Homo-oligomer: A and B are copies of this chain.
């Protein structure tokens, strides 16, 4: 038996734990091919064989040893043909695809075409509704909380308002949890817009009472009246997100102008997705990998692994690209208790 595994989309701490979990739990007579750079490797026929020795200790390393790309082979007739040819050429009995919406939608399509495919969900944003948690998310929250912890002392020493920008274009999970964990004094996420006036009021109250402030803001947050405020529309991208310098920079500027307080901005960006995974993410990735291999051995194809409570289960692959999981209002209200 010959199985191909690949990782697609943005990288995420825990991908290597999934890979190791798959390889280590494969029986001796199963050969594992690591397809390089996501679906692209099946188009270009670039792959390596993976043995137990190749994956020794990789679960503590961030990123993915297989590389990744955002290539969607169904975007061109030529590529998809190449892919189908290659799957036959190297005799793949099954493919395990680890990735987000885009990667798994290709997997679902291949599955519907009759190929043996198993999916492993990956999103650092934790915004998939069919699984309690995705790996990489806890690491991102921990790194974010750790960074905010560090910013408290400098904000306090100088009496400043620091806006710290975290990932989350549409769902604010990383921002709200890192902000909650590290005691940010205001949390701004895409799900719950706020007017600049409201923000100004929060800033004034906190600064008058305590003299310094940390605001956690998701990259996708947009103040309600943004369009009226920003003159040059070219600074807002197709999603309505702020472009140049990021939302943290923008908020720091406008709040300084409106309140007179000394403001600063910090953008965490790629720091959140790099580096060694937390124990939780290593374990979750490992369990996902082992379960994906089990699905293959059980010939339970067209399915995706998921976490429910403490159990690893599987669900149909076509559910993978289901509704997004946004921060619910109850959770936001919980965070609000600690504002100010």
| Chain A residues at the B interface, C-beta cutoff of 8 Å | 7, 10-11, 13, 15, 24-25, 37, 57, 59-64, 67-69, 132, 138, 141-145, 147, 149-154, 156-159, 162, 177-178, 180-183, 244-245, 264, 266-267, 269-271, 273-276, 278-280, 282-283, 286-287, 290, 308-310, 334, 337-338
Contacts and interface: CB of A to CB of B under 8 A. Distances in A.
B150 A274 contact: yes
Contacts of A310: 132
Nearest to A52: B340
8 contacts: A11-B153, A37-B159, A67-B158, A150-B271, A154-B273, A181-B282, A266-B270, A267-B267
A270 B275 contact: no
B271 A151 contact: yes
B11 A287 contact: no
Within the oligomer, what is the number of copies of this chain? 4
A153 B62 contact: yes
Contact of A150 (B143, B180, B267, B334): B143
B68 A158 contact: yes
A145 B245 contact: no
B183 A59 contact: yes
A183 B58 CA distance: 10
Contacts of A275: 149-150, 153
A59 B286 CA distance: 27
B132 A279 contact: no
Contacts of A162: 270
Contacts of A290: 334, 337
A37 B178 CA distance: 30
A269 B268 CA distance: 10
B279 A145 contact: yes
Given A68-B158, A151-B270, 7 more contacts: A59-B183, A62-B157, A63-B156, A68-B157, A141-B280, A290-B337, A308-B309
Interface-central residue, A15, A178, A182, by most chain B CB under 10 Å: A182
Interface-central residue, A24, A143, A183, by most chain B CB under 10 Å: A183
A273 B280 CA distance: 17
A62 B212 CA distance: 15
A154 B61 CA distance: 10
Contacts of A132: 309-310
